[in-house]
């Protein structure tokens, strides 16, 4: 098999850093007991959020979607395109305010759970990236479908050759 070719490397919107910082602060406000730690959050969080942002990667290849994230705990996930069932595009009011959106990737093996296999937040031109993933997925699944029909026709040809060889062997053994 040929090595997968990189089709598109997703870019992430720098506003994602501000969104993550405010989202963390909002979470601390909601939990009430963590409110005294808010000043510490605003001092320390930007460093970790910047490191996290620097390590965000998402690549679409000819065969898969690869995502990498994390600063302290790093996560890398590769999803074969033929396993992708749906890409859900979500854009709430807060996300919209920051010009961000979320792409949720759902795969065939994930149908029984309520969560997505992968959530991509802050991709620049997320709608375009989503369409590229769908287009490439369709190419991959169309190729696998045509290779199935090719293998069926190859099996038929081999079966015909086997039958011809049996006829030849029968004629040779008569002589």
Q: How confident is the model at residue 146 (pLDDT cuts 50, 70, 90)?
A: low
Query: Which residues, 6 or more positions from 29, have their beta carbon under 8 angstroms from its beta carbon?
Result: 35, 38
Task: Tell me the whole-structure pTM to 2 decimals.
Answer: 0.74
The one-character DSSP state at 36 is: G
* Top-ranked range on mean pLDDT: pick from 7-21, 137-151, 155-169: 7-21
Q: How confident is the model at residue 154 (pLDDT cuts 50, 70, 90)?
A: confident
Q: Which CATH number does the domain 6-174 belong to among 3.90.1200.10, 3.30.70.20, 3.40.190.10, 2.30.29.30? A: 2.30.29.30
pLDDT value of position 18:
95
Q: How confident is the model at residue 144 (pLDDT cuts 50, 70, 90)?
A: low
Top-confidence residue, 170 or 57: 57
The one-character DSSP state at 34 is: T
Alpha-carbon distance of 22 to 63, in angstroms, equals: 36
Q: Cβ(67)–Cβ(118) under 8 Å?
A: yes
Alpha-carbon distance of 98 to 89, in angstroms, equals: 16
- Which two tokens mark 37? 């730690």
3-state secondary structure of 150: helix
Q: Is 3 exposed, middle or buried (0-12, 13-18, 19+ CB in 10 A)?
A: exposed
pLDDT value of position 136:
93
Average pLDDT score over the chain: 88
């Amino acid at each position: 098999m040929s090595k997968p070719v990189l089709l598109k490397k997703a870019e992430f919107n720098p506003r994602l850093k501000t969104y993550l910082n405010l989202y963390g602060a909002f979470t601390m406000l909601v939990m009430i007991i963590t409110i005294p730690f808010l000043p510490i959050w605003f001092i320390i969080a930007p460093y970790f959020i910047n490191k996290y942002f620097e390590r965000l990667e998402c690549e679409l290849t000819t065969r898969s979607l690869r995502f990498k994230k994390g600063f302290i705990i790093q996560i890398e996930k590769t999803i074969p395109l033929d396993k992708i069932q749906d890409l859900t595009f979500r854009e709430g009011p807060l996300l919209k305010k920051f010009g961000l959106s979320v792409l949720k990737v759902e795969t065939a093996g994930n149908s029984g759970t309520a969560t997505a296999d992968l959530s991509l937040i802050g991709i620049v031109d997320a709608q375009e990236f989503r369409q590229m993933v769908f287009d490439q997925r369709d190419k991959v699944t169309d190729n696998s479908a045509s290779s199935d029909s090719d293998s069926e026709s190859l099996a038929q040809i081999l079966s015909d050759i086997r039958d011809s060889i049996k006829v030849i062997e029968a004629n040779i053994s008569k002589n």
